[in-house]
Structures are given as C-alpha cells and as structure tokens.
C-alpha cells in the first residue's frame, strides 16, 4: 500500500467499492483481482481478497441464509478442497508476473465466452450433469486459490446449470464461497501469505468492502441480469489484456 501513488490509491478504492457492490448484488464477483492486479502484486491482492470474500459472504448469509440450498453446497465442497490444495502449490512456487500472465489468459477467455453467450444464448455449452460438480468444484478451488475472486464464475456456471432462482443463487454461491474462503485462508496462513503488506492491504480495504456490499444489497432487488452479465464480461476483457503486458 505504501508504494501506491495517490491516483492508484483512488483507483484501489473505486475498484473495491464497485466490485463488492457487484458481489453484494449477486453473491459473487470476478473482477476484483484482475483489476487490482494492474497496480498491485497478486501475492498481496489474492490473500486480501480471500479475507474480504469471507466477510462479504458472511454479510450476505446473515440476511439470506434461509435461501441456501445446502444439498448442492455440501456436494461440491470436497472437490473445492482438492482444488485448493493443488492451487496452493502453484501459488507458492510461481512468481507474481507468471501468475498475472496466467490470470490474463483466464480472464480474456472467460470474458469473451461470457459476452458471447449473452449475445448468442442458444450456443451456451452445457456439460453433462454428472461431471459438473467435480469439475466445477476442483477448477474453482484451484483458480480461486491462485486468482482469488475468479472462483465465483465457476460456481455461477455450476448453479446456473442447476437453474436456481435469484435468491437461492445468491445465497448458495455466497455459502460456497464462504467455505472456500476458509479453506484458502487456512492454506495461505500455512504458507505465510498473510505477511505485513497483505495485512495492511486487508485493513485498508475492509471499510471500502463494507460500503460496496451495503450498496449491492440495495440494488439486488432491481438488478437486470442480462445487463449485469454483459458489463462484467466487458470489464473482464478490458482488464485481462493489460495483465498479459505486465
């Protein structure tokens, strides 16, 4: 945080408020890490976002826990744990630049796919039901451990395939992300990821995250799902390219 310039600090604040307003609206968000990775090291951003994700999911669950579909939540968690263990190895061994480049590729591919299916919904790929849970859980745990908030998009695909309503979707994805955050948080602590810089970033980001979630809760009822999906897809594409140039 000390190394950020004043414009970068303003950017940091705006990104956190807007991204957690998105998370408060739908229960997940995928843009926090790629946007902050433009001005901060992923070695700081990812542990910070894990901490914020735990708290933001808890805030959502405090209000909407009655809507959580526990059967599908418990079903996917063992696979998430497997993905976390694999992801911790790569998070520990790869340098920040390599992680940023890999994230750029993931963001561009998924951003392009997300935008395409909103334009041509008939082409949406739907994998066989029996492979969705293990694949989505393992990939989400792996990607989430390396890239923080990016796990939400895989859970969104998983729950979309189950055709949940808006309230059940938001509450259930928040519950899954809360459990995943516990897995990741313990893992990061074990490998020493919560160092002085990461803890300082957590302290600075916490009030901004709370403002964002508060705003998101208020716009949840009036959210336009199609416009939201297109906006997130465009932001992902715009933020993915610069990561490849770092």
Question: pLDDT, tens digit, for every residue of 66-85?
Answer: 888 888 888 888 998 998 88
> Contact 31/21 with Cβ under 8 angstroms?
no
Question: Which residues fall within 8 angstroms of residue 210, CB to CB, at 6 or more apart?
Answer: 55, 59
CA atoms of 224 and 175, how far apart (whole Å) = 23
State the pTM of this model: 0.70
> Contact 32/138 with Cβ under 8 angstroms?
no
Question: pLDDT, tens digit, for every residue of 4-62?
Answer: 888 889 999 998 888 888 776 666 666 677 788 888 888 888 889 888 888 888 887 88
């Amino acid at each position: 945080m000390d190394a950020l310039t004043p414009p970068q600090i303003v950017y940091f604040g705006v990104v956190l408020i807007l991204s957690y307003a998105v998370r408060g609206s739908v229960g997940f968000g995928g843009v926090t890490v790629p946007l902050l990775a433009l001005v901060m090291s992923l070695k700081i951003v990812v542990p910070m976002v894990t901490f914020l994700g735990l708290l933001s999911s808890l805030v959502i669950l405090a209000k909407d826990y009655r809507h959580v579909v526990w059967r599908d939540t418990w079903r996917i968690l063992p696979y998430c744990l497997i993905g976390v263990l694999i992801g911790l190895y790569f998070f520990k061994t790869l340098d920040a630049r390599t992680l940023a480049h890999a994230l750029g590729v993931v963001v561009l591919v998924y951003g392009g796919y997300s935008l395409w299916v909103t334009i041509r919904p008939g082409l949406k790929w739907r994998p066989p039901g029996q492979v969705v849970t293990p694949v989505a859980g393992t990939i989400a745990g792996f990607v989430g451990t390396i890239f923080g908030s990016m796990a939400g998009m895989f859970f969104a695909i998983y729950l979309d395939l189950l055709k949940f309503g808006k309230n059940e979707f938001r509450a259930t994805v928040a519950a899954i992300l809360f459990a995943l955050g516990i897995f990741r948080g313990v893992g990061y602590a074990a490998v020493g990821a919560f160092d002085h810089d990461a803890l300082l970033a957590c302290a600075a980001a916490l009030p901004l995250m709370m403002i964002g979630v508060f705003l998101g809760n208020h716009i949840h009822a009036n959210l336009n799902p199609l416009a939201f999906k297109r906006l997130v897809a465009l932001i992902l594409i715009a933020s993915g390219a610069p990561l490849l140039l770092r």
